[in-house]
């Protein structure tokens, strides 16, 4: 521990000498970063240990948050701020001639996530710790992350994300807590000493799961929880006899190689299933072993643990918990089932059918045969229960876990879990009315809504220090720990001097991002242009294409009347990765880059429009873009986006939402006022009606709107197309596959919304007032509020006693 600047400097110099044998002057920047990271980790270690001891002493219930991804971003500065040591470290390093900013830039974004699902999980960990609750994340220690995106010849290329190449200073390997996870083999019956029969798995492939723990400190409260990263290693005692050690190592390395293996191949799909089972089996075994050592029974297990399943990926935890209770600890089904039904809660994140995971029966039968037997039995007993309850045959079919040769994982989670939540009001309503209507009719008490939130400490206090300082000068610092207090800013919405201050903060942030783009991409940006931002995973339903079609339309307007055309200059900023096997999404990226190349190099056009597609979009880039954003593009097809979280981050930083009535956009508009956002397009009900009736035909729009025809034709013959085939896939998807996500149906409304946004922006006083009101109305969208709701309705955790810590 260090309590002041002098202690910090002495500790830094001592650790640098002890580990690397170097003085500060002779040390390399990587060595300096490593030592600072270790000091921050060790500083948090005191709280870490005290919290563990406090939990054990008080028999506190703990949350285990299972998620295949946690998009943590950089931890160094956030951890220092949460621990209250940033100022000491910054000043101490400055005395030693070291710029803390240079060390911050040495840290790689942890390669443990990809998109909104993982970033939400990371926000939740911050809020859980900052609110003082005992809750821990569990995921896989991916050696090469998702992928590092690079643009080569105008296309996305996926490279390994070597985020661990310089080590990860914040993790602690804990081999004593390792467990063994078994794959394959055969389920075999045997006679127990008491005369009953049991099951065991024979001839399995054994994998050692070793945890690496990362401390998650709360904000200035002495609480530190854990993010546990599971790594696959060779079993020390149970090596396979039917394959060489080299082949065995290859299969091991695959488990932790990367996030979301290519699911376009059978091998990739099986690997995904192996990863999912590896994670939940390791996490459950660790908790159950610890519990059994203390109590010698599991009847009270629900009093001490609750497991939140973040999306469909961890649902195998349900049958695995049954397997462990019955096969490893001797429980009967009748005694194990009431325990399992009290410990699992499920969060749904999508209404997209392809994302509601289904596994071929033969996959699970092969990989974990005993687990499949348990799934069969859950399904059998469920159908008997439903039949006795008089559930209709149509509903029973919808609710079946095993049907048509597939295991429907979500159905198993809803039937078994005690809670099922959506992540925005409209999303939860769609789950009740359409996606899981049969289940909602049968067990409505399980369904609840928990609108997503983001940690304002990361996305405002850390990412936007200028705005944070301006806010604190007006209303004090209480908003940092109680974000509902941000509403106190509303009284300054009409304050002309505060309006000017907020707009200056925004322009300074835009200047910073422009300087970054000049250095990173060689693109000159005008900080007085409108920064129009769409940053999110590349998927057709998120409609980056609608944004691009409008840009192409503007290009045509400029070229038709270059001397008379007028508009407020716009900078369109895109950030997105496309999954490696998602060919259509990758083609959209290729199209955006091709249009950007034409637009940015045409002097008639680039004085009005610039396009930036940031490479390898992630948390650190988001922290540069979001504070600089004027317009937040949230233009998904209504009814398709569960919630969204970039909309919240941008709102908190004073951007106005240009969006559809989808996901959390609806609640954002409700809280900030419709007059302070730009809402357009079809509603979810109108989209569903058009689908049900088959009344929408994109050719009708194409033939009736010359702008649409001009845009679509340019995909084949425009200046961005090398030939007619380069972007034919995009053309065909819209025109010949019936425009599944209603891009053309919303085109006219979107163009009008963009014109409205520009006119809005040009009324500087009105815009500044709306920006302030967006910030002041964002209190609901903190993950602190979301976590309090989860805890009130689902987890029922007690806050750790700060006095005891």
Cβ neighbours around 712 below 10 Å, total: 20
Q: Which residues pair with 309 in a beta bridge?
A: 66, 346
Q: How far, in Å, CA of 214 to CA of 48, rounded?
A: 10
Q: Are 535 and 646 in contact (CB under 8 A)?
A: yes
Q: How far, in Å, CA of 637 to CA of 544, rounded?
A: 11
**Nearest alpha-carbon partner for 465 in 35, 112, 784, 90:** 90
Cβ neighbours around 469 below 10 Å, total: 13
Q: Are 139 and 280 in contact (CB under 8 A)?
A: no
Give the Cα-Cα-Cα angle 150, 151, 153 (nearest 5 degrees).
Answer: 140
| Helices (runs of H) and strands (runs of E) counted in the chain | 32, 23
Q: Are 426 and 453 in contact (CB under 8 A)?
A: no
Three state DSSP letters for 718-775: CCCCCCCCCCHHHHHHHHCCCCCCCCCCCHHHHHHHHHHHHHHHHCHHHHHHHHHHHH
Q: Are 401 and 412 in contact (CB under 8 A)?
A: yes
Q: Which residues pair with 360 in a beta bridge?
A: 406
**Any idea which residues carry the catalytic annotation?**
349, 536-537, 542, 645, 649
Supply the DSSP symbol for 526. Answer: -
Give the tokens for residue 19: 């580990």
**Nearest alpha-carbon partner for 70 in 175, 208, 181, 216:** 216
Cα-trace Rg, the chain: 27
Non-local CB neighbours of 637 within 8 Å, separated by 6+ positions: 541, 543, 660, 662, 682, 687, 741, 742, 746
Q: How far, in Å, CA of 314 to CA of 726, rounded?
A: 39
Q: How far, in Å, CA of 800 to CA of 803, rounded?
A: 9
Burial tier of 223 (Cβ tally within 10 Å: 0-12, 13-18, 19+) = buried
199-204 LR contacts (CB < 8 Å, sep 24+): 199/326, 199/327, 199/370, 199/373, 200/327, 201/327, 201/369, 201/370, 204/238
Q: How far, in Å, CA of 540 to CA of 740, rounded?
A: 9
Q: Which residues pair with 307 in a beta bridge?
A: 64, 344
Q: How far, in Å, CA of 343 to CA of 321, rounded?
A: 10
Q: How far, in Å, CA of 162 to CA of 390, rounded?
A: 55
Q: Which residues pair with 235 in a beta bridge?
A: none
**Nearest alpha-carbon partner for 272 in 401, 164, 142:** 142
């Amino acid at each position: 521990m260090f309590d002041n600047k002098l202690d910090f400097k002495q500790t830094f110099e001592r650790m640098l000498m002890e580990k690397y044998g170097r003085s500060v002057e002779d040390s390399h920047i990587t060595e300096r970063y490593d030592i600072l990271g270790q000091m921050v980790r060790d500083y948090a270690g005191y709280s870490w240990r005290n919290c563990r001891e406090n939990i054990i002493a008080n028999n506190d219930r703990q949350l285990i948050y299972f998620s295949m991804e946690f998009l943590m971003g950089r931890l160094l500065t956030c951890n220092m701020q949460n621990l209250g040591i940033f100022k000491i470290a910054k000043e101490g390093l400055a005395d030693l001639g070291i710029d803390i900013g240079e060390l911050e830039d040495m840290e790689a974004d942890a390669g443990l996530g990809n998109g909104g699902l993982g970033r939400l999980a990371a926000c939740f960990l911050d809020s859980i710790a900052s609110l003082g609750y005992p809750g821990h994340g569990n995921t896989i220690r991916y050696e090469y992350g998702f992928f590092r995106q690079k643009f080569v010849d105008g296309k996305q290329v996926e490279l390994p994300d070597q985020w661990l190449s310089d080590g990860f200073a914040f993790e602690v390997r804990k081999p004593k807590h390792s467990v063994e996870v078994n794959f394959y083999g055969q389920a075999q019956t045997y006679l127990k000493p008491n005369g009953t029969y049991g099951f065991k798995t024979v001839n399995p492939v054994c994998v050692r799961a070793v945890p690496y723990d990362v401390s998650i400190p709360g904000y200035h409260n002495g609480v530190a929880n854990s993010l546990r990263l599971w790594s696959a290693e060779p079993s020390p005692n149970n090596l396979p006899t039917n394959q060489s050690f080299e082949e065995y190592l290859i299969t091991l390395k695959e488990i932790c190689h990367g996030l979301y293996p290519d699911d376009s191949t059978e091998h990739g799909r099986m690997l995904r299933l192996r990863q999912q089972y590896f994670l939940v089996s390791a996490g459950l075994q660790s908790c159950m072993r610890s519990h059994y050592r203390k109590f010698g029974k599991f009847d009270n297990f629900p009093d001490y643990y609750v497991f939140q399943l973040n999306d469909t990926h961890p649902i195998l935890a349900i049958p695995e918990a049954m397997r462990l209770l019955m096969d490893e600890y001797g429980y009967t089904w009748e005694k194990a089932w009431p325990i399992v039904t009290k410990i699992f809660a499920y969060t749904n994140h999508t209404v997209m059918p392809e994302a509601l995971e289904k596994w071929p029966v033969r996959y699970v039968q092969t990989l974990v045969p005993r687990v499949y037997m348990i799934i069969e039995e859950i399904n059998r007993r469920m159908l008997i229960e439903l039949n006795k309850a008089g559930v209709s045959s149509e509903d029973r079919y919808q609710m079946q876990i095993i049907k048509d040769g597939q295991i429907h994982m979500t159905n198993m989670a809803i039937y078994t879990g005690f809670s099922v939540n959506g992540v925005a009001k409209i999303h939860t309503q769609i789950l009740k009315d359409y996606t899981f209507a049969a289940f909602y009719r049968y067990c409505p008490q399980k369904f609840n809504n928990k609108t997503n939130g983001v940690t304002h400490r990361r996305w405002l206090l850390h990412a936007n220090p200028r705005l944070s300082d301006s806010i604190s000068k007006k209303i004090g610092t209480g908003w940092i720990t109680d974000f509902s207090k941000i509403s106190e800013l509303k009284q300054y919405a009409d304050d002309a001097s505060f309006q000017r201050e907020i707009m200056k903060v925004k322009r300074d942030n835009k200047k910073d991002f422009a300087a970054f783009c000049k250095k990173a991409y060689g693109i000159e940006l005008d900080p007085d242009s409108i920064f129009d931002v769409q940053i999110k995973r590349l998927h057709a339903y998120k409609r980056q294409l609608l944004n691009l079609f409008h840009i192409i339309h503007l290009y045509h307007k400029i070229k038709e009347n270059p001397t008379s055309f007028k508009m407020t200059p716009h900078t369109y900023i895109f950030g997105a990765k496309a999954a490696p096997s998602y060919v259509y999404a990758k083609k959209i990226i290729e199209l955006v880059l091709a249009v950007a190349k034409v637009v940015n190099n045409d002097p008639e056009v680039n004085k009005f429009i610039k396009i930036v597609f940031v490479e390898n979009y992630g948390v650190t880039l988001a922290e540069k873009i979001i504070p600089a954003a004027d317009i937040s593009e949230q233009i998904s097809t209504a009814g398709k986006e569960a919630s969204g979280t970039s909309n919240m981050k941008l709102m908190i930083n004073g951007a106005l939402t240009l969006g559809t009535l989808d996901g959390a956009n609806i609640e954002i508009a409700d809280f900030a006022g419709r007059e302070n956002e730009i809402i357009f397009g079809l509603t979810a009900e109108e989209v569903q009606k058009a689908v049900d009736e088959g009344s929408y035909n994109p050719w009708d729009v194409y033939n009736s709107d010359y702008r649409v025809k001009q845009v679509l034709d340019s995909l084949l013959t425009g200046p961005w197309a090398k030939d007619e085939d380069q972007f034919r896939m995009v053309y065909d998807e819209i025109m010949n596959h019936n425009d599944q996500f209603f891009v053309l149906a919303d085109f006219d409304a979107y163009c009008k919304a963009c014109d409205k946004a520009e006119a809005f922006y040009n009324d500087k006083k009105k815009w500044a007032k709306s920006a302030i009101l967006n910030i002041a109305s964002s209190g609901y969208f903190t993950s602190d509020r979301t976590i309090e709701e989860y805890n009130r309705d689902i987890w029922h955790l007690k806050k750790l006693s700060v006095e005891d810590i």
